[in-house]
Structure 1
């Protein structure tokens, strides 16, 4: 089996062990500091050439109070939970259609992920387009509450 000799073994006896001039190995001074040091001073040309957007602010940060976050629920979850909700009395059955106000469950918007297998009358603040289509396709109704 061929075994390569370790580099340090080969370097035994050499003065600088492959590091070039002996002054090069003295700390970070040879490379102009560690990391991003000197970005405004001696590494400025590097910043301008390779990372021109390093300094400054870009874009717009929306105020948090303007961002509307709604609690969402998917159709698949509601379809799965309907028997349990009927049992608990949160949902009711009228004219062969399950009536459910999703606000009672702590949700505000209904999303259209998954399938709905029975006609349901859902009440919520908002519905996604796909959710509305799937509910109506199953013979149900999506009622938006203001």
Structure 2
């Protein structure tokens, strides 16, 4: 495609429609793509087949919001039981590094049946800390990175 040397607005001055035709003068959507009118009536069959998310809000994602990935004690127990999270042994201590599995926060709902477990995580609720200390474990908080 050839790049214009000058803006189109500098050209065709003095010609009533300036190259945009006699009726529309590039006011309507036309064939420029994007979202168009008439999708709820005469283009309905296309919309049903290809445009599932055509209607409704689309919005934007706030760029300053922070998504925190959290896991509860109940979910941690089931993940350890089914083998998706493994317990490491270091100096005779049982250690689970949740930052390695992509979790940022430990929540206190549920119970943990493994005693003497040290959990490394960025954030933890007070309830989770108390429940772990009650069964002889501890929470090791790492600095935010």
TM-score (norm 2): 0.49
Greater CA radius of gyration, 1 or 2? 1
Structure number with the higher helix fraction is 1
TM-score by length of 1: 0.48
